[in-house]
Structure 1
Amino acid sequence: MVDDARTDGPGTPGPLTLGRWTTDRAAIEPARAAIVDRGVVVSYGELEARATALAHALGEAGHGLGARIATVTGSTADQVVLLFACAKAGAVLVPLSWRLTAGELAAQLRIADPSLLLVEDDHRPVADAALERLGDAASTRIPTTALGAAGAESSVPDALRPVAAAAPRDDDALLMLFTSGTTSAPKAVVLSHANCAWANLSLSRATPLTPDDIVLQVLPQHHVAGWNVQPLLAWWVGACVVLERTFDAGRALALIERHRVTATMGVPTTFRALIQHPDFQARDLSSVRTAVVGGGMLDPRAAEQLARTGIVVRQGYGLTEAAPNVALTRDESDAGTVGRPYPHVDVALLVDGRVEQGAGTGELLVRGPAVFQGYFRDPEATAAASLGPWLRTGDLVARDASGRIRIVDRVKDIVRSGGESIAPIEVELALLEHPAVIDAAVAGVPSERWGEELVAWVVLAEPADDAALHAHLDGRLADFKHPKRFLVVDGIPRTTSGKPLRRALIAAFEAARAEAR
């Protein structure tokens, strides 16, 4: 449910509810490793026992059907236990980013309106500061404790507005995840048990896992891909997930070698960080058979470097509202695209207000059983993101006759300069082919002459002047697609899903330009 919980009796869990997964796995192989968290192994039997006990405790404390349980933590086994406990009790997990400021965290807590907040010790200061901003009114007071054995698994604070536990139905909410906010204020995406089950079924058909797989999770658990791109599928089939609490390239490479990791996922910056690390060539990465990349296009140079180690990269495309899996490359014929839709995913194009099938260029539309129920308590935003049964992605794409999808750019990010339309992502990928460029972002800024002009922010491994960068782009891009300015920076601000924060770059540029006048 998008807004508030239903109030019927306990019942029997729906067939697609995720609380069944650990029960089934623990019955088959209780001693098999489910999670490795900083060297500590959690078996399927232990995961089921802890999740069941916590589900009971949540219900007893009034955090039952539809109750929202917020967290501020890195990727931990404790949060995995909590997810499955919520799945059993009918509660909703709301994982919040530990990277947020106190003000940002307070804003998301205000939207989520959780009945309980669980905080990892390292992040208690920012959580406390956020709670102070909410004030002391009874309506905003949130019971708070720690995760894990020292916190909620020992004693759960009572809910201020108790709700009884009940077995969830397939369409009951399981996850509430905040969007990255690249084009607007963050919104709370509600995903049901059925959404997550279908997303993982689709994933299993395109890039399957087996009980013998070892998955390295490097994407954070406050991101949809931290659950629905490999980790949840791994726990469904009985594989093991090695958690990287917060991403560190050197440590991730060591974990791959130590645990003989067979599958992993990340955003383009994740894989570039691995490649650029001094240990990349020295570590044995031969066990990795598949790596899924999303959140943007991985540049061909990086893909080639990974391929030389034997890692087959599968370029994906998705968005939180689609839970997130929409498309994935299957083989070399899909190079330069994000592949074709997953099974159980339908796509179409919105062209001049018309929904069109087949080849063409337009805004990508998505529908299917994994598509979200809506934004929490925000019917206007939900309506704006919908077109009948279709989810509007906001992404401009080109689709060929074989169904392959090439991302042109965000509809709102297209730069219109001198009567021409320019896709920033195309320029970024071209810049990343230069050996000195290790990261890049491109955006349009206001221009009296051109309407908008292109500016590129680049992170360099070695010096490269404007002339060298223009020379590199010659023959790769038409002249009108060349940035008018190159700005060398130490880093590109990005969302947790790896997308460049173009609005922040433009705002900083405009502020500096105004100050210089």
Structure 2
Amino acid sequence: MEGSMRCSANYVPLSPLSFLERAAVVYADRAAVVYGSTVYTWSQTRDRCLRLASALTSLGISRGDVVAVLAANIPAMYELHFGVSMTGAVLCTLNTRHDAAMVSILLKHSEAKVIFVDSHLLGIGQGALKILLESNVKPPLLVIVGESYNSVAAIRGPIASANMEYETLLRTASPCFEIKWPIDECDPISLNYTSGTTSRPKGVIYSHRGAYLNAIATILINDITTMPVYLWTVPMFHCNGWCLAWGMAAQGGTNICLRNVTARAIFDSIALHKVTHMGGAPAVLNMIVNSPITERKPLPGKVGVMTGAAPPPPQVMFKLEELGFNVTHAYGLTETYGPATVCTWKPEWDALLPEERAKMKARQGLNHIGIEEIDIKDPITMKSVPADGQTIGEVMFRGNTVMNGYYKDLSATKETMAGGWFRSGDLAVRHPDGYIKIKDRSKDIIISGGENISTIEVESVLFSHPAVLEAAVVGRPDHHWGETPCAFVKLKEGASVAAEDIIKFCRSRLPHYMAPKTVVFEDLPKTSTGKTQKFVLREKAKAMGSLSKKGGSKL
């Protein structure tokens, strides 16, 4: 329009680094990071991040370089989210449950120049670097993050001579560092590897713009007002803590770092610090509702808890709210910066019975403000499925908080964004009120005798059994039906129930073809984000062999 112009006065590339700059002034003396007896204010946190950026620059890190970190939810992990970006570099947070071999693969693929390793995970970190050396690949510089300098100084290993220590780097670095702001707001800020990482890694590229927008969207969907107290039960390496590693700075929040997530630690932290918000996969929620009475403490007030990573069983959500937690159900993927949808509460649900309200809130809802649109489409025709709550299609997104792409894999990027939509691989239905509900991953759906069986629906029934603590369902080969549901179940402590009773329980609540034909009692393999590793269970079910034509199980 005539008279308008774009210049530095009215346009600045969006970046979550601006959150820290503001927080250091507005909330200067307020606690920013708390870890045991260690407390840093927002002013101190900015100072430490600037020193970190200065130290990285002295190590040769410059714009576009990758800096990796393998660490639990500790202060350094939080500071790296800002300090690395201040240099123009890209932060790569690694899954703390990976072994040395997988870490070496990701370091090689990312071409990280520096890796920060939590001293508790040093064996994995040094093992990964040793593998790279033996493969004639130049390893990144190692910086050890210890609980104290003395404990780090005593560490010995194959690369001990190259050891640097985090706090020493910060103490000797200058706080007078000029932040290298993004040239373009679509410049990369972080690199996140998907949880299903194999020997062919999929590194998801986040931009400053996307991180900024998703941090704000996540704050809004969780009703996080100014100066919250956030308990870190979500791994910060996972989608950068669902973008709240940056988001807490926007609101001047206090970050309560928690290394080991247990029910006792959660209740103790809430009581001690008067926690207002937290997050967690359904496995964390399940841990809370099934904790012994002796480990629980009264909540000082309502605690908002965002859950995601896997569809939460309605029974778990209902029990959690009985304890005083206010549950917000979000859904997303690594490729959408974490949360992309939210099941927004509707006043008319207040008239429903508690169990029915929980079922409504267990749906995935609708896109948040950072996502332009979400749809359920036929992946072949790209036509939207009817909003009848029955017709299954693939969840697809488009908007400003969809990834830039997969690192070093343009063909995979083009494939997953074919047709102008990001294809999630998740199968869902849309209800008449517009809200979506996930039925399964496309690879998890069980096709038995031509019928589609949602493993999520079967698992929801299993969770309602009074003796069941955790459950996961996969397909087992069947001579007659092709495959039938096989349930892997972990019982509550002290509980005892037969497989036949579990099957009978499910048959009384589901169509018979959906009820498990096989029940196996064992601990469920998990990722560090709380997701059940169904690929492991599918292999176990496959190894059992096909059921007879009559079906059934003698387990």
1:331 maps to which residue? Answer: 345
Alpha-carbon offset, residue 467 of structure 1: 2.6
Give CA deviations for 1:355-397 in whole Å, capped at 9, x if unaligned.
Answer: 3446253101011111100111111221222123311110001
1:424 and 1:442 in contact (8 A); partners too: yes
Give CA deviations for 1:30-75 in whole Å, capped at 9, x if unaligned.
Answer: 1111111123111100110011121122123221111111111111
1:216 and 1:264 in contact (8 A); partners too: yes
2:439 maps to which residue? Answer: 408
- Structure 1's 173 and 186: CA in aligned 2 closer, same or farther, altered over 3 A? same
Tell me the distance in 1 between the aligned counterparts of 2:77 and 2:365.
32
Tell me the distance in 1 between the aligned counterparts of 2:541 and 2:370.
43
DSSP-derived class of the 1:463 partner: coil
AA partner of residue 348 (structure 1) = D
AA partner of residue 494 (structure 1) = K
DSSP-derived class of the 1:195 partner: helix
Tell me the distance in 2 between the aligned counterparts of 1:206 and 1:221.
19
1:223 maps to which residue? Answer: 238
Among 495, 510, 515, the residue aligned to 1:482: 515
Alpha-carbon offset, residue 153 of structure 1: 4.9
DSSP-derived class of the 1:325 partner: strand
AA partner of residue 66 (structure 1) = G
More displaced 10-residue stretch of structure 1: 54-63 or 87-96? 54-63
Among 460, 466, 470, the residue aligned to 1:439: 470
**Aligned residue runs from structure 1 range 447-486, under 5 A:** 447-461=478-492, 462-486=495-519
Tell me the distance in 1 between the aligned counterparts of 2:60 and 2:245.
29
Tell me the distance in 1 between the aligned counterparts of 2:231 and 2:513.
42
- Structure 1's 172 and 309: CA in aligned 2 closer, same or farther, altered over 3 A? same
More displaced 10-residue stretch of structure 1: 146-155 or 282-291? 146-155
Tell me the distance in 1 between the aligned counterparts of 2:423 and 2:248.
30
- Structure 1's 182 and 173: CA in aligned 2 closer, same or farther, altered over 3 A? closer
Alpha-carbon offset, residue 339 of structure 1: 1.7
- Structure 1's 352 and 265: CA in aligned 2 closer, same or farther, altered over 3 A? closer
1:329 and 1:340 in contact (8 A); partners too: yes
- Structure 1's 498 and 469: CA in aligned 2 closer, same or farther, altered over 3 A? same
Give CA deviations for 1:396-435 in whole Å, capped at 9, x if unaligned.
Answer: 0111232201011001111111111111111111100000
1:263 maps to which residue? Answer: 277
More displaced 10-residue stretch of structure 1: 65-74 or 298-307? 298-307
Tell me the distance in 1 between the aligned counterparts of 2:535 and 2:491.
22
Among 417, 424, 427, the residue aligned to 2:448: 417
Tell me the distance in 2 between the aligned counterparts of 1:288 and 1:267.
19
DSSP-derived class of the 1:177 partner: strand
Q: Are residue 174 (structure 1) and residue 204 (structure 2) matched?
A: no
Tell me the distance in 1 between the aligned counterparts of 2:62 and 2:263.
39
- Structure 1's 273 and 355: CA in aligned 2 closer, same or farther, altered over 3 A? same
**Aligned residue runs from structure 1 range 33-432, under 5 A:** 33-136=31-134, 139-147=137-145, 151-155=165-169, 166-168=180-182, 169-181=184-196, 186-224=201-239, 226-228=241-243, 230-279=244-293, 282-331=296-345, 333=349, 334-345=360-371, 346-351=373-378, 353-357=380-384, 359=387, 361-432=392-463
- Structure 1's 165 and 314: CA in aligned 2 closer, same or farther, altered over 3 A? closer
Alpha-carbon offset, residue 231 of structure 1: 3.9
Give CA deviations for 1:77-102 in whole Å, capped at 9, x if unaligned.
Answer: 11211211112111111111222111
More displaced 10-residue stretch of structure 1: 276-285 or 114-123? 276-285
1:203 and 1:325 in contact (8 A); partners too: yes
2:161 maps to which residue? Answer: none
Structure 2 unaligned regions, length at least 5 = 1-10, 150-164, 171-177, 350-359, 547-555
Alpha-carbon offset, residue 286 of structure 1: 4.1
Tell me the distance in 2 between the aligned counterparts of 1:267 and 1:484.
28
DSSP-derived class of the 1:388 partner: helix
Larger Rg: 2
More displaced 10-residue stretch of structure 1: 123-132 or 470-479? 470-479
DSSP-derived class of the 1:285 partner: coil
- Structure 1's 194 and 392: CA in aligned 2 closer, same or farther, altered over 3 A? same
DSSP-derived class of the 2:474 partner: strand
Tell me the distance in 1 between the aligned counterparts of 2:54 and 2:501.
64
Tell me the distance in 2 between the aligned counterparts of 1:65 and 1:483.
54
TM-score between the two structures when normalised by the length of structure 2: 0.84
- Structure 1's 139 and 373: CA in aligned 2 closer, same or farther, altered over 3 A? same
DSSP-derived class of the 2:382 partner: strand
Alpha-carbon offset, residue 335 of structure 1: 2.9
DSSP-derived class of the 1:413 partner: coil
AA partner of residue 379 (structure 1) = L
Tell me the distance in 2 between the aligned counterparts of 1:349 and 1:403.
10
1:37 and 1:244 in contact (8 A); partners too: yes
- Structure 1's 276 and 475: CA in aligned 2 closer, same or farther, altered over 3 A? same
Alpha-carbon offset, residue 511 of structure 1: 3.7
Tell me the distance in 1 between the aligned counterparts of 2:39 and 2:15.
25
TM-score between the two structures when normalised by the length of structure 1: 0.90
Alpha-carbon offset, residue 513 of structure 1: 4.7
Give CA deviations for 1:241-281 in whole Å, capped at 9, x if unaligned.
Answer: 11112312211111011111111110000011111121477
Structure 1 unaligned regions, length at least 5 = 1-12, 157-163
Tell me the distance in 2 between the aligned counterparts of 1:279 and 1:225.
33
Overall identity of the aligned pairs, in %: 27
More displaced 10-residue stretch of structure 1: 272-281 or 341-350? 272-281
AA partner of residue 343 (structure 1) = I
Among 513, 530, 539, the residue aligned to 1:498: 530
Give CA deviations for 1:178-197 in whole Å, capped at 9, x if unaligned.
Answer: 11118995411111111111
- Structure 1's 367 and 280: CA in aligned 2 closer, same or farther, altered over 3 A? farther
2:105 and 2:199 in contact (8 A); partners too: no
RMSD between aligned residues: 2.4
DSSP-derived class of the 1:22 partner: helix
AA partner of residue 94 (structure 2) = L
AA partner of residue 466 (structure 1) = A
Alpha-carbon offset, residue 125 of structure 1: 1.0
1:253 and 1:279 in contact (8 A); partners too: no
Tell me the distance in 1 between the aligned counterparts of 2:406 and 2:376.
23
- Structure 1's 350 and 140: CA in aligned 2 closer, same or farther, altered over 3 A? farther
Give CA deviations for 1:458-516 in whole Å, capped at 9, x if unaligned.
Answer: 00121111232123213321000011110011x111222322211111223434559xx
2:506 and 2:516 in contact (8 A); partners too: no
DSSP-derived class of the 2:72 partner: coil
